[in-house]
Amino acid sequence: MLSKKAKYGLKAMFYLGKHFGKGPVLISDLAEEENIPKKFLELILLELKKNGLLYSKMGKGGGYSLSKSPEEITVGQVVRILDGPLAPIPCVSKTAYMKCAECDNEKTCEIRKIMMQVRDASAAILDHTSLMEAPKAIFSVNRKSK
């Protein structure tokens, strides 16, 4: 399940993607526009900056901006930074593998087989959807469902 932290982080990154190349965005403006608590947003943006997705500038004309173009940043990168591995259980994680304590045999575990498919399907979507593509995909899904 996507945490509130990751949801807010994605909202912020989409917003910064729309403003890419127009200069830094103030945290207060971003928080107000996207209805995100400012203090929580500050922590999220610092984490994204620490992991190389954002750049910040202090002082007059300062704020946050993407460190790369929106086409180069994927939804999967943002989610992993803010929520950790995409795997629903630790034994199928590529980055944080851990054997399940109750599992006798991973090779025959039916739960593991299914959860590996869930992980792969999620990663295929999130890692191939950039910040630039995501809002367009959401818009086209919303239009189809009406």
Tens-place pLDDT, residues 111-131: 999 999 999 999 999 999 999
pLDDT attached to residue 98: 87
Residue 84 lies in a domain: yes
Question: What is the phi-psi region of residue 95: left when phi exceeds 0, alpha when psi lies from -120 to 50, beta otherwise?
Answer: alpha
- Which of 16, 47, 66 represents a domain boundary (last residue)? 66
Residue 145 has pLDDT above 50, yes or no: no
More confident residue, 121 or 1: 121
Residue 136 lies in a domain: no
CB neighbours of residue 71 within 10 Å: 12
Number of domains present in the structure of the chain: 2
Residue 139 lies in a domain: no
DSSP label at residue 20:
T
Give the domain CATH number at 13.
Answer: 1.10.10.10
CA-nearest of 93, 70, 86, 95 to 124 is: 86
Tens-place pLDDT, residues 49-72: 999 999 998 888 789 999 999 999
- Which of 33, 66, 99 represents a domain boundary (last residue)? 66
Same domain, 54 and 78: no
Cα–Cα distance between 127 and 94 in angstroms, integer?
14
Residue 59 lies in a domain: yes
Residue 139 has pLDDT above 50, yes or no: no
The whole domain housing 115 covers 74-129
Residue 142 lies in a domain: no
What's the average model confidence in pLDDT over 129-145? 61
